[in-house]
Amino acid sequence: MSTSAAPVPEGPSGVGEGAPSALARVLGVLRAIPVVWYLTIILWVWIAAINPLFAEPSGFLAYLKQAAPLAILAAGAFFVLASGEFDLSVGSLVTVCVVIAAAVSDGDPSKTVPVIALLFVIGLIVGLINGVVTTIFRVPSFITTLAMLLILDGAVWLYTSGSPKGALADNFREIGRMGIDVPVIEQLPYSVIILVAIGAFSVWLMRGHFGRQVLAVGDNDRAAALSGINVTRVRITAFVLSALSAVIAGILLGGFAGVTAQVGQGLEFEAITAAVLGGTVLGGGRGSVVNAMAGALALTALFSWLNLQGVSGALEDAVEGVIIIAAVAVASYRLREGS
């Protein structure tokens, strides 16, 4: 995820017909770069100008480490959004993962591997329920996953009464806290490695059969069904991917910061904001998973930048709200223009 590797977006090519002039070609290339990358790069440069450490490998990696859980969630959110659905349950699923990991392992390092396996099973079940209820029982996903959010939150509340039990083992926490020692850049955080791996996996998914199916289903599920796509299966898979992204984000966040019962609060909206900021169209059918993840990088950079400006945390929510509206407005404007 280096700055120069801005991906060429899926979709119509930026090169016009005929023999364009050199300037037109440059403009064409610039135009092909999604807005979110401009935003991200401006923020990076600005932050680096205020705080030169940010431009050094260790500073930038620290930022990527911070951004990793949200970027992974944004990738998960992308699949669900692109298939035309919503997943509001990821934030509370993150909390469930952290709370359960702490309670089950109670700081015992030998239990880390089975606990992680357990978390993935829980994620799988939650994703399957979201998918099955939405597709087979035809409950709108907004309602299904809102209900799942409430159920999971309630379960955490019942179980912890607001104060989580147990502790996370050191080796569990290392995943989100530590990294591999590498010369020059000091330490390559595990979360950044996981982030890159998930980014690569998501791109691979989107380039393949499944990716085309997801976009087709999101664009027009009836047409997709008529052309032989198993809409139900595609959507259930998207929900499962989203839930699994929440499990991974939970493992990283629990590792980064330790146990709390509010670790996942609001993450579902941050993930959707990131995806939308990355050009994912609510309602489905359009978008790029890499840009959705870039949206998370931009959002994290924005929060860091606000912090550097001395703007208090209370404003972050307001900024997030403004971004959702602005990003959706731009997207729908573009849609209207494009058609």
Binding residues vs another protein (CB under 8 A): 16, 24, 27-28, 30-31, 35, 38-39, 42, 46, 50-51, 53-54, 59, 62, 66, 161-167, 177, 253, 256-258, 260, 262-263, 265, 303-315, 322, 326, 330, 333-334, 337
Token code pair at residue 89:
């349950």
Closer CB to another protein, 112 or 135, in the complex? 112
Closest approach of another protein to the CB of residue 216, in Å? 25
How many C-beta atoms lie closer than 10 Å to residue 52's C-beta?
Answer: 10
Closer CB to another protein, 44 or 239, in the complex? 44
Closer CB to another protein, 1 or 178, in the complex? 178
Classify burial at 135, counting beta carbons within 10 Å of its beta carbon; exposed 0-12, middle 13-18, buried 19 or more: buried
Collect all residues with Cβ–Cβ distance below 8 Å to 115 and sequence separation of at least 6: 100, 101, 104, 105, 172
Closer CB to another protein, 161 or 230, in the complex? 161
How many C-beta atoms lie closer than 10 Å to residue 80's C-beta?
Answer: 35
Token code pair at residue 138:
């035809």
Closest approach of another protein to the CB of residue 46, in Å? 7
**What are the backbone angles phi and psi of residue 315, rounded to the nearest 5°?**
-75, -20
Closer CB to another protein, 132 or 306, in the complex? 306
Closest approach of another protein to the CB of residue 59, in Å? 6
Closest approach of another protein to the CB of residue 227, in Å? 29
Closer CB to another protein, 66 or 144, in the complex? 66
Closest approach of another protein to the CB of residue 53, in Å? 5
How many C-beta atoms lie closer than 10 Å to residue 56's C-beta?
Answer: 13
Torsion of CA 250, 251, 257, 261, to 10 degrees: 40
How many angstroms separate the CA atoms of 189 and 42, rounded? Answer: 24
Helices 231-257 and 90-105: crossing angle in degrees, nearest 10, is 50
Closest approach of another protein to the CB of residue 106, in Å? 9
Cα–Cα–Cα angle for 149, 153, 157, rounded to 5 degrees: 170
Closer CB to another protein, 106 or 219, in the complex? 106
Distance of CA 32 to the CA centre of its chain: 23
Closest approach of another protein to the CB of residue 31, in Å? 6
